[in-house]
Amino acid sequence: MKIVIVGAGEVGFHIASHLAYENKDVVVIDADPMALRRVSDSIDVQTVHGSGSSPVTLEEAGIKEAEILLAVTNSDEVNLVACLVADIVSPSTKKLARIRAGDFDHYHEQFSANAPHIDTLINPEIEVVRTIDSMLRLPGAVDVGEFADGRVKFVGINLDPGARLDGVRLQDLSAVVETGRLLIAAVVRDEQLIIPTGDDRLQGGDLVYFISEKEKVFDTLKIFDKHMEPMRRVLIIGGGRIGFRLARMLEDRPIHTKIIEKDADRCRVLAEKLNKAVVLHGDGSDQGLLSEENVRDMDAVVTLTSDEETNILASLLAKRMGAKKTVTQISRFSYFPLMSTIGLEQVVSPRLSAINSILQHIRKGKVLSAISIKGEQAEVIEAVALETSDIVGKPLRRISLPKGVLVTAIIRDENVIIPSGESVIEPNDRIIVFAQRQAVTKLEKILAVKLEYF
């Protein structure tokens, strides 16, 4: 599979790294030689210096042989033009574009049906707001993924020392959990992700990932001693596009929302567009302002400025001053391992959301969605079990799944099945599979039709 990536920023770099690790043929285009040097010094991929919206540059990159074009620069306009030119030069190439401006939200179908015939428009900001909303709704959730149209949730929570499951062996979970099966897909301990066996014990401080039906997720959280508390007051620091989208979403619920924004002109725009939220002009990292706005009484503080250092500082201040929960937006992937060390567990990233959206469209087999876990150490993939794939028609215990792969749920019609070794996957079942990074390529082969080359 040959893939051309336009844009060598954080998203382009990490997608290229992800795909190169899987031995895919990747070409990265960028007009910035320093960005390309970072790519070529770190990843075994081809680089082309030039504009991704130039037909000459695209042809030099081999667009006519490429199966997929990913336009992921920081400019919506460049991404759109790159897809338009690619549509002219190589109509058969599948095109994905990252488009962040809200003006395009209602035109995705038109861009697909008409020129430039973009197969998928990805707005990572929409996904980030959904993730934040899920974190606000689920007590203790550090990471949340939704599958099967929201019917199945994949949740990561921190296990508190002294909690009921602290020290419990996984094979003894059924004695502790009275109702239903609890499937723990992965545990992150000391920044290392493992798929635990029945002999492994949970420890206080672990980041535990489990799978649950939507209706049972709160009951499952209670098993981890996480109890639902009503969300009544939310403070948003940063009134940019993501802050505005979040505030507009919260207006539909009985939540008192405040936004602190540094730019006076932007404050006026927010005040005009929002009906209920209180818009405040000021610096969200100002301790005096936070105290004045009673941050200690906030159920959640969400920091969404364009400066991630400000977001980190504001979240730390809010937490120290008594806010019950903080959600912090960061962009640099190198910051992720540091967040839990400094006490900020709930972190979101538009760039990571963009990568998750892109992954599902470049996987072999009939993949419906895919999300990265813990800085790309693993993926959770939702796919349709095809009739001719190797995973249907026999008990899971008899399927030779690669090491590091775990089937976490089977969705058959309206039923969600938490599988055991005796469970059988039938054709057209939707399955949710957890896979460590090194096992993804092998998993793709299992999910694909035997004679398929996608």
| pLDDT of residue 328 exceeding 90 | yes
Question: DSSP characters for 44-58?
Answer: S-EEEES-TT-HHHH
CA distance 89 to 63: 8
Query: What pLDDT shows up at residue 438?
Result: 86
Exposed e or buried b per residue across 359-392, where buried means at least 16 C-beta atoms within 10 angstroms of its C-beta? bbbbbbbbbbbbbbbbbbbbbbbbbbbbeebbbb
Last residue of some domain: 351, 368, 403? 351
Number of domains in the chain: 4
The domain that holds 262 is classified in CATH as 3.40.50.720
Cβ–Cβ < 8 Å for 433, 373: no
Same domain, 216 and 245: no
pLDDT of residue 59: 96
Position 371 scores a pLDDT of 83
Q: Is residue 452 part of a domain?
A: no
Residues 212 and 269 in one domain: no
Mean pLDDT of 152-178: 87
Residue located via tokens 């040959």: 2
pLDDT over threshold 80, residue 414: yes
> CB of 94 within 8 A of CB of 66?
no
Q: How far is CA 448 from the centre of its chain?
A: 23
> In this structure, what CATH number is given to the domain that contains residue 170?
3.30.70.1450
Residue 103 to residues 76, 106, 114, 293, 447, Cα–Cα distance (Å): 11, 7, 17, 32, 37
Same domain, 105 and 138: no
Give the Cα separation of 303 and 317 in Å (integer): 11
For residue 268, is it within any domain?
A: yes
Gap between the Cα atoms of 188 and 375, Å rounded: 11
3-state secondary structure of 386: coil
Task: Judge whether 443 lies within some domain.
Answer: yes
CA angle, 68 then 71 then 75, to 5°: 175
User: What gap in Å lies between CA 65 and CA 230, rounded to an integer?
Assistant: 54
* Contact criterion met (CB below 8 Å) for 153 and 196: no
- Cα 450 to Cα 61, 362, 366: the distances in Å are 30, 18, 13
Say yes or no: 403 and 340 in one domain.
Answer: no
Give the CA distances from residue 451 to residues 178, 271, 445, in Å, rounded to whole numbers and listed in that order: 45, 57, 10
Q: Would residue 340 count as lying in a domain? A: yes
Q: Looking at the domain assignment, is residue 453 inside a domain?
A: no
Please check whether residue 454 lies inside any domain of the structure: no
Same domain, 335 and 296: yes
Is residue 228 one of the residues assigned to a domain?
no
333 pLDDT higher than 80: no
Instruction: Say if pTM beats, i.e. exceeds, 0.85.
Output: no
Higher per-residue pLDDT: 180 or 159? 159
> What is the overall mean pLDDT for the chain?
89
Residue closest to 150 by CA, chosen among 134, 132, 129: 134
Collapsing DSSP states into helix, strand and coil, what is residue 327?
strand
- Of 287, 322, 351, at which residue does a domain stop? 351
CA-atom Rg of the chain in angstroms? 23
Q: 3-state DSSP helix/strand/coil percent for the chain, to nearest 5?
A: 35, 25, 40
Residue 245 CB contacts under 8 Å (≥ 6 apart), including other chains: 102, 125, 126, 129
171 vs 226: CA distance, rounded Å: 22
pLDDT confidence of residue 452: 41
Same domain, 7 and 114: yes
Same domain, 110 and 171: no
Cis peptide before 116 (omega within 30 of 0): yes
The set of residues, in sequence order, having a beta carbon less than 8 Å from that of 116 and lying 6+ positions away, is 80, 83, 84, 86, 87, 95
In angstroms, the CA 377 to CA 370 distance is 13
Confidence of residue 420 (pLDDT cuts 50, 70, 90): confident
For residue 233, the cross-strand partners are 256
The answer to whether residues 274 and 379 belong to one domain is: no
- Assess contact for 252 and 227: CB atoms under 8 A: no
Location of structure tokens 């567009």: 273
At position 15, the amino acid (one-letter code) is I
Least reliable range by pLDDT among 10-24, 178-192, 208-222, 309-323: 178-192
Residues 118, 366, 12, 210, CA torsion sign: positive
Q: Is residue 142 part of a domain?
A: yes
Confidence of residue 413 (pLDDT cuts 50, 70, 90): confident
Q: Could you read off the pLDDT of 121-147 as tens digits, one per residue?
A: 988 888 899 889 988 988 888 888 888
Two tokens at 408?
């976490």
The predicted pLDDT at position 454 comes to 36
Q: Do both 104 and 170 map to the same domain?
A: no
Whether residues 134 and 53 share a domain: the answer is no
For residues 257 and 370, what is the distance between their CA atoms, to the nearest angstrom?
32
Mean pLDDT over residues 186-190, rounded?
88
Phi, psi at 145, each rounded to 5°: -125, 145
Asked which of 203, 223, 243 is the last residue of a domain, the reply is 223
Q: Which amino acid is at 87?
A: D
My answer on whether 364 and 279 are in the same domain is: no
Q: Which domain holds residue 398?
A: 354-447
Looking at the structure, tell me whether residues 116 and 139 fall in a common domain: no
Q: pLDDT tens digits for 261-318?
A: 999 999 999 999 999 999 999 999 999 999 999 999 999 999 999 999 999 999 999 9
